[in-house]
Structure 1
Amino acid sequence: MNRLTLRFKDPALEKQYEQSQFEMYRTKSNYYFLTIFLVICVLQFISEWLYCSLETGLAWKLINIVLIAFTLIFLCKYPQFGKEAIFFENLILISSKLQHLYSHMGHDDDKITDLITLTDLEYHLHILQVFDVGCFQIVLQSANNIFMEYFIGTRVNIFQIVNNILCASIKMIVMYFFKEWSRQQFTLFLKDQIWQQQLPNIIQKPFFKFTLENFTKQFRSILSNQIEMFPSYDPNFCEGCNLRSFLRFCIRDKKTLEQKLLDDYIHKEQIQGKNNEEVWYSNNLKHYSIRICNLNVERFKCLIILEEYKHKEKQSISNNLIKKQLLRSISSRSNHITNKFFKLGMYTIFSINNEQIGLVNMYILLKRLSTYYSFLDLKLLPIQGENYKSFLIKTYSKKIVSFMVCIFNIFIKIQTSKIKKIFLKIEILDWDTICIQTEGVDHKVFLEEYKMNLYLVQVEQQLLVFPVSDSLRFVFQSQKDKEPLEMKYLKNEY
């Protein structure tokens, strides 16, 4: 920025500044100025016409009125010429003062004091103008004042000239500092805009930048980044609603973060040293750390950064590791039967709600379970003319293991004597349908235990073609439309 003219060295930046200033207040203020200036000139014209009996200068004043009206209409249509219009208004004001002085010269009346009203309007035009052009306007006004002083006093008064120069200097100095401050505020505004645009690139973590509406006392989001990472995020909510939802989601000492921020803002003297603090919050299985940065100056402004977030998804990863460890332990050769059954039970619990679908070889599954439950008097009948690799179905791979484990546990409960052997026969009914037939088991006792197991009753709708009946046939099918095959097997059975 040029320190003498207070203009930005970049022409594009200077144009942007002038445009923003005229859009913000100059154009609107100038409309009011022209309207009031027009009313003042009209009233002075009527006053002189009615009470002064002065015909001299009335045409001049009428021309000034027409010029003011023309400028007002021109600005309404072409507001981009605001700077030029202000300079033209300054010339009209000088003309009005000269006309008023000319009209009352040689008359003993007090109408010369009306010049004070016109003089009061001068400084407003200087403030609206850019600095260098405003200084030129001040010089013109001072020269006009000296010229009028000469005509009134009919001689040159050096002291009046010095007074006019000093008054003009004061106006320029005050205007200089005001315009310098105005341009500094503009550059700060641009820097703040750039900062907001670059903030997501600078802060790679999820954050909310928000302010407080004074009237509604409601927080409003200004800028955000990766808000879907916040624990309370809801895709059906807007950005502001997600912000307020998160502030209410954070609870500590029976107080929400929303209420805490409001209380801190009301009691500003208590938070002077809390401009940057990190706080841990916990809600159910969600543990997260946020950084609260207070950006308060005159109005509330705050930045919340999600520093760290731990959720139960991490626990699910550890569950998978536990499952793998249990499987390795189950497949190992251990003589501790109780320990092995405990691990198998834990694995079954982990798999209860697992909806994963995959390929399962039912023959291999039965063979492994038969080996595992070797203490039972149970025999898996050999397959007839089939390759064991053909016993594949696409189903809920975790649930079917839990299902068969529960079936074998029922065998443990109902087998009272080893004299009666349990036989399991597996066969392929169709290319995607496998049947397991159970023999050597009291079907009434088995079905009673089976129906008491809520998990088996619930999951059989997903795994079996039709519910288990007295024949104790378990018909599994790949996941697709099972209705036609269900009707087919029911007809064959009956």
Structure 2
Amino acid sequence: MDQMNKFTLQFRAGDIELKYQKQSIQKLLKPLHYGLLLMSLLLNTIQIITVTTRESFQLPFINIGFVVISLFSFYIVYKKETLTQKMMTIENAYILFLQLNFTASNIHGQEYYLYGSSFSLIQAVTYFATDFYLSCPSVIMHLIFRLVATTLYAGRFDLVGLGLTITTAIFLISVLYICNRAQRQQFLLNFKEDTINYQLQTLINKPFTKILFNEKKLQIDVLQVNKEHQFLGYNQDLCFGCNIRNFIRNCKIGDRALEKWIIHDQNNLQENCLAIVQRTKIKIRLCQFNTDNSLILIIENQKVDTKQKKVPQFIKSQLIEQFLISKKTLFNMQFKFGVMSILMLSQHKIKTINIVKLLDKFLNTYVFSGKVYLNLNGNKIIKLKTYALYLKIFLIQVFNIIQDLEYSQNIFNEICINNFDNYLVFELRLSNKNQFLQLYEKNFFIKYTEQHLLVTPLSLDLVFYFNKLIPFDETDSQL
């Protein structure tokens, strides 16, 4: 099933469209918009001064109007960057009126051609920068406006001009459609690849590395590593790339180093191989990752103690009893949550959790400087089927970090939740996001649990994408 609308090219999944818009705004639209605004303000100011002083203080209302729209657009985009494309489309339409400043009576013929071409090129930049559902109607309306204005000024109707306008519209719209579709397909491919890369650690619960032979640099690039310390020859003083390259160099299959196989004869490598590393026989598996032509190397028979060391039940009971009789101070609650995190670690049971009820419990337990608003976007009950105990550990640590940041005047005022088909989007509204992210990335419990819960790693926007597609269903009890 096509994931894009056939006519507008927008993604059918709202969360993917949101991520695409955020990336497009940050990488292209905002810098381009501010650059065009700066250029427009400068040139229009010069034009206003020139016309006012040379032509008996006559006011160029078209240029003044464009300056006002530019300043208004700057304010709107600064306040709400999601409106960047729409404001650029409005400015692009107003450029048509600027062209009315230049007529055959007040400018030389060749200069008239220069100004007309320049305005058209500036508009073309905006066409290609904005989405197809905005650029397509813009092209049609702009060409109709030019045709009508030219006919009125010339005093006659030109069939050749009409034919050229229609042909230009068809070709330009076709190219815009092809380019925007290709751009979105590339984003979708990268999004899926990033999602798969992030989930590989959960899917492959063994020591593995994802590698790619770089023909330009003539070296093996290490793209991803899981359980790096379980590769024979691991040295904590070296980076993970150097450790993996040393392992590949010292690993022999038959009478050849694995490095030689990968560089010169990768196609003849068997999927399952018996290898020797430091006089130790190990079984490895090699899989071709077709998305980016990389190779996944998995250590199959690494001896790892996977048995869970369960805490005796009588100790759990005594701890719970102790928690109940202790004073409900902030320090005691944080201690209780810390012990619970240790007890619940490494338990993979899947359950359905009432997210609203769980968040209300945390908001009532922790003390913040102001009221924290829980924005459910119209939903009354939101449930998530996931690794329940991991989610509790994860949220405990998140709230602990926020509680610690409150002492450094980091204002926390809202939690915003959006419920999509495949993801639950959970956004924190904090005044200092950098400070939170630094503590988040250093937290041991978060590092352990987030790979089982989130689709992609957390970024500076502090938006968590909780995965709804759980591979195994062990139980379905309600919390």
TM-score range, shorter chain: 0.5 to 0.7
Deviations 1:78-133 (A, max 9, x none): 423212221222122122123x24xx353463342322211111111111211111
SS in 2 for 1:16: helix
Partner Cα separation in structure 1 for residue 132 and residue 182 of structure 2: 12
The verdict on how the C-alpha distance between 1:210 and 1:31 changes in structure 2, with shifts beyond 3 A counting, is farther
Q: Which letter maps to 1:303?
A: I
Alignment match, 2:437: none
Q: Is the CA contact (8 Å cut-off) linking 2:253 and 2:273 kept in structure 1? A: no
1:279 and 1:131, CA in 2 relative to 1: closer, same or farther beyond 3 A? same
Distance change >3 Å, CA 279–CA 73, structure 1 → 2 = same
Counterpart residue number, 2:60: 58
Could you state the TM-score of these two structures normalised by the residue count of structure 2? 0.53
In structure 2, do the counterparts of structure 1 residues 107 and 187 end up closer, same or farther at CA, with 3 Å as the change threshold? closer
Q: TM-score, normalised by structure 1?
A: 0.51
Find the counterpart in structure 2 of residue 23 from structure 1.
26
**Pick aligned residue for 1:87 from 86, 89, 94:** 89
One-letter amino acid matched to 1:165: I
- 1:3 is paired with a residue whose SS is coil
1:380 maps to what in 2? none
Q: Cα–Cα, structure 1 residues 81 and 242, in superposed 2: closer, same or farther, change >3 Å?
A: same
Q: CA offsets, 1:210-264, max 9 Å, x none?
A: 4578998876644333444422235676644532342343257998655775xx3
- Partner residue in 1 for 2:275: 281
Could you say what secondary structure the match of 1:155 adopts?
A: coil
Moved over 6 A (4+): 212-218, 252-255
2:105 aligned with 1:112 = no
SS in 2 for 1:9: coil
> CA separation in 2, counterparts of 1:218 and 1:108?
61
Closer, same or farther: CA 53–296 of 1 in aligned 2, 3 Å? farther
- Report the Cα offset of residue 175 of structure 1: 0.8
After superposition, the Cα gap between the structure-2 partners of 1:247 and 1:182, relative to the gap in structure 1 and judged at 3 Å, is same
- Is contact 2:52–2:58 with CA below 8 Å preserved after alignment? no
Q: Could you give the per-residue CA deviations for residues 435-474 of structure 1, whole angstroms, max 9, x where no partner exists? A: xxxxxxxxxxxxxxxxxxxxxxxxxxxxxxxxxxxxxxxx
Q: Say whether the 8 Å CA contact 2:9–2:133 is kept in structure 1.
A: yes
Note the C-alpha offset of 1:286.
0.6
Deviates more, 1:170-179 or 1:86-95: 86-95
Q: Unmatched 5+ residue regions in structure 2? A: 305-479
Contact 1:8 1:14 in 2 (8 A): yes
Contact kept, 8 Å, 1:221 with 1:240, in 2: the verdict is: yes
Q: 1:291 to 1:133 in 2, by over 3 A?
A: same
Q: 1:89 to 1:160 in 2, by over 3 A?
A: same
Q: Which one of the candidate residues 10, 13, 33 is aligned to 1:7? A: 10
CA distance in 1, matches of 2:219, 2:74: 42
**Which SS does the other structure have where 1:209 is aligned?**
strand
Structure 1 pair 271–85 and aligned structure 2 pair: CA distance change class (3 A): farther
Distance 1:27 1:37 in 2: 15
Can you give the 5+ residue segments of structure 1 that lack an aligned partner in the other structure? 265-269, 312-494
In the aligned structure 1, how far is the partner of 2:206 from the partner of 2:181? Answer: 38
Question: Contact 1:275 / 1:294 at 8 angstroms: preserved in 2?
Answer: no
For residues 214 and 245 of structure 1, the distance between their equivalents in structure 2, rounded to whole angstroms, comes to: 19
- Higher RCO, Cα 8 Å, sep 6+: 2
Residues 279 and 38 of structure 1: is their aligned pair in 2 closer, same or farther, counting only changes over 3 Å?
Answer: farther
Please report how far the alpha carbon of residue 200 of structure 1 lies from its aligned counterpart in structure 2 after TM superposition.
3.2
Identity over aligned residues, as a percent?
Answer: 20
Q: State the partner residue of 2:197.
A: 196
Preserved CA contact (<8 Å) 1:2 1:9: yes
The answer as to whether partners of 1:275 and 1:295 remain within 8 angstroms in 2 is no
Task: Tell me the equivalent position of 2:295.
Answer: 302
Summarize deviations over 1:10-40 as a string: whole Å, max 9, x none: 3333223222222232222222233333344
Backbone CA RMSD of aligned residues:
3.7
Distance 2:14 2:58 in 1: 48
Query: CA separation in 2, counterparts of 1:3 and 1:39?
Result: 40
**Change in 2 beyond 3 A, CA 1:283/1:132:** closer
- The correspondence of residues 21-170 of structure 1 with structure 2, limited to 5 A, is 21-45=24-48, 53=55, 58-72=60-74, 74-98=76-100, 100-101=101-102, 104=103, 106-107=105-106, 109-110=108-109, 111-113=111-113, 114-170=115-171
Question: Which residue of structure 1 aligns with residue 210 of structure 2?
Answer: 209
What letter matches 1:169 in structure 2? I
Paired positions, count: 299
CA distance in 2, matches of 1:272, 1:180: 34
Residues 1:290 and 2:284 are matched in the alignment: yes
